[in-house]
Amino acid sequence: MIKTVKILGKKIKIEVSKGMDDHGDFNSAKHLIRLNGRDSKSEREKTLFHELIHASLFIGGINELLTEELEEAIVRNIEHGIFPILKRLNKNG
Ligand SMILES: [Zn+2]
């Protein structure tokens, strides 16, 4: 799994952690995404995509326009709508 990404020029660290209850989270103060090491690789990739959307909304300042509930709904919509297509693109080139 990759250890860092850049979103809109900002570096985001990615860590796999075994001591967490959720699938993952994004710490905006630390610019850190944590993924649950007990999840399967494909589950972690899906979670990473989800948390990257949160990170991008934060870095773009869009999250300030949203309630937490609305942000989560948007992130889940993009995750469920787009991630399966990205997986297919990745497989088929
Ligand atoms: Zn979320």
Q: Which of 56, 59, 58, 64 is nearest to 82 (CA)?
A: 56
Domains of the chain: 4-92 (1.10.10)
Please tell me the distance between residue 89's alpha carbon and the centre of ligand 1 in angstroms: 24
Band of the pLDDT at 90, cuts 50, 70, 90? confident
Please tell me the distance between residue 29's alpha carbon and the centre of ligand 1 in angstroms: 16
pTM for this predicted structure? 0.94
User: How confident is the model over 15-52, as pLDDT tens digits?
Assistant: 999 989 999 999 999 999 999 999 999 999 999 999 99
Alpha helix stretches (DSSP H) within the chain = 41-59, 68-92
Q: Which residues surround ligand 1, an ion (CB under 5 A)?
A: 72, 75
Total residues belonging to the chain: 93
Residue 93 pLDDT exceeds 80? no
Question: What's the rounded Cα separation, in Å, for the pair 68 and 2?
Answer: 27
Please tell me the distance between residue 90's alpha carbon and the centre of ligand 1 in angstroms: 23
User: How confident is the model over 41-85, as pLDDT tens digits?
Assistant: 999 999 999 999 999 999 999 999 999 999 999 999 999 999 999
